[in-house]
Chain A
Amino acid sequence: MNAIISGRSGRALLIDGDSLKSFEVDDPSTLTSRQQEDLPYLFGEGSDLRILEDTSIEDVELELRNHCNFTWALDLTLISLDADVPIDIRTESIESLEELLETEETLIQVENVLYAQPLPEDADLKGALELCNPSARNTVHTFLLDLDEFQPRISVVFHAWESIPTKLFGDYEARDAFRAVAINEGYFKMLAIEPRSSLFHLQLMLNPSLSELPNSLSILRKWHDLSDERIDLKHFKPVDLGMSRSGSYGMYGRVINPVFITKALRKTHGNQARAARLLGISPSDLRKLLSQIKDKKPKARGERPKLDA
């Protein structure tokens, strides 16, 4: 039997020969017969579909429950970070999230997504932390504190990923496919939280879905090197550069990748004022960054771990 599941719709479709049946996450024991004509409506735009091959109904039920828990946990996290949502609903989101994140699998899945990209500027992480009840069970509090702490590294790893030439993947579609696997398998998170030892783990975790993609080893090596080559983050913290945006935890999104600085200067033919504008920083901040880059001693290549080491 095969199956298609969607956490967002809370629904699974079982495909067994010519037979189509579906069930809802809240009522897995009720199987509803389906026809082909139902398919366009069952999953809507189908943006979060997962395919299960050669599976059993018990496994589908479990996978659907896990996928739903992850979807709801991500929704609730984003709601808790959303300053536009009333305080009472944000607080309720954090309470609901507490229960969901007690399941380690759900916590890992949510972190895999949130560690793949820096928090945008409209995320109110400070406000969400204040809404957590520190006297209660504190899974969410710890989760948000970690998210805050790792923002600089998340930004570095994200920009390193963005710097990998698309030609290494083959094309944009292959790049997107690789990225989806890398998020799902936690590669972004791993590089963010374990920058020094992650290469070894990357190798260990090189799973079939990733290794089947062309150039996977070269891409991982390049990504790791680019993440590792970043100048020490303490030089880039916006606070150090006077770029703090009071009350906004999204400020770490301002960490600038040196590759982008080089590109901006090249694009503007060395005009620092225009390059600064391109980078979204002031000319004086750009000058500070350039002097820090200049002062930074380059590492010897032998110091870096290698994939095949």
Chain B
Amino acid sequence: MPASIPCVSCNNDIPQPAERCPHCARPGIFWNVIAAEDGNERGELLNRYNTAKTDALQRGADKVLVGFERAVTTSVAVIARSESEVLRLATTTKQLYATYYEQLESNIRLPDGDEWDVVREVTDTVLFPKFKKEMRFGALSIDGVGVRNYGPCSMALRNEMISHRASVFEENSVLFMKHKKIEVSNPVLPKGFRAAWSDRAMLSVAKLATAIDPNLLPGQYSKRLLKQGASSADDDFIEVHIWGPISVLTMEKVTVTAPSSGPRETILKAVTSKLLKHNVTVA
């Protein structure tokens, strides 16, 4: 990822992680997308994609792969969360909720001590981000259901609200770094494993073509793209990185994947009424 880019308007340098040009204030800079659109990055991805297509052709799986690729072009970004978290997101524009939820923002930092080392590196850079605080993490999904292990409410986001600020990544980025033996403190990533939103089908084909056999049915594409594991260790998905906030107006559909009871059931009813008022489908 470049440390700075020239402004398309005034041509002066915009340093990372500025969201707008510091000189002419032109807005709309999303660094995750800039990184994914890098020429070398896309070139490597194209190589992987072409290799995958050739392999599928040799195995007689090329037609199925075309069907799979077409299905992924309609895929959505999904974030799985609890009922309370969806309520918070669904009410960010309402003063009543925003007033009091704001008071719960803990802004904590991990205490000193070796006992926290196992989570410190990851949490410092991802969970408790500094400039990375703008990133939201989701999964690519064909059927609108996200990774169930992380929450009973799958929020599918509207394409038009994220396509300009979203990018996709081969797999869970922390897991990827483990697989590739990359240090979080010095994340030099190999090229060809991330893509802009418009290239998400290309990345999916590059990653999953070898798992597409000639007998795969269209109804099975969804499970091939996002594999729900018995535990999170068995989950496999393409990670979506979304720059910036999410509100009820970003959502298109919420799928409830587990029944709620007690207070959560009532909260879910309120969430549902809020979502429907904003034309968000609830399934």
B69-119 CB contacts (< 8 Å) to partner A: 79-82, 84-85, 87-88, 91, 94-97, 99-101, 103-108, 110-111, 115-116, 118-119
Interface flag for A160 (CB, 8 Å) = no
Q: SS class of chain A's interface: helix, strand, loop or mixed?
A: mixed
**B150–A89 touching, CB < 8 Å:** no
With beta carbons under 8 angstroms apart, the residue of B118, B123, B136 that contacts A45 is B136
Interface flag for B175 (CB, 8 Å) = yes
B32-52 CB contacts (< 8 Å) to partner A: none
Which of A14-22, A189-197, A282-290 lies on the face that meets chain B? A14-22
From A13, A32, A34, A47, residue with most partner B Cβ within 10 Å: A47
Complex contacts, B96 vs chain A, CB 8 Å:
78, 81-82, 119-120, 122-123
Complex contacts, A53 vs chain B, CB 8 Å:
111, 115
Bound form: Cα–Cα A261–B5 in Å: 47
**B100 → chain A closest CB, angstroms:** 6
Interface flag for B247 (CB, 8 Å) = no
Complex contacts, B231 vs chain A, CB 8 Å:
32-33
**A81 → chain B closest CB, angstroms:** 6
From B80, B96, B106, B231, residue with most partner A Cβ within 10 Å: B96
Complex contacts, B266 vs chain A, CB 8 Å:
76, 79, 89, 92-93, 96
Bound form: Cα–Cα A4–B128 in Å: 12
Bound form: Cα–Cα A51–B105 in Å: 14
Bound form: Cα–Cα A2–B201 in Å: 41
Q: How many residues of A contact B (CB 8 A)?
A: 64
Interface flag for A72 (CB, 8 Å) = yes
**A96–B262 touching, CB < 8 Å:** yes
Complex contacts, A49 vs chain B, CB 8 Å:
106, 108
Complex contacts, A51 vs chain B, CB 8 Å:
108, 110-111
Interface flag for A100 (CB, 8 Å) = yes
Which of A110-118, A130-138, A211-219, A227-235 lies on the face that meets chain B? A110-118
Going nearest first, the 5 A-B pairs with the smallest beta carbon separation are A37-B174, A37-B175, A72-B263, A120-B95, A41-B150
A-B contact pairs, 28 of them (CB 8 A): A10-B82, A10-B84, A18-B118, A33-B233, A34-B232, A35-B175, A37-B172, A37-B178, A41-B147, A41-B172, A47-B88, A48-B106, A71-B84, A72-B264, A75-B87, A75-B263, A75-B270, A76-B267, A78-B97, A82-B96, A85-B270, A85-B273, A86-B273, A119-B96, A120-B96, A123-B96, A177-B107, A180-B106
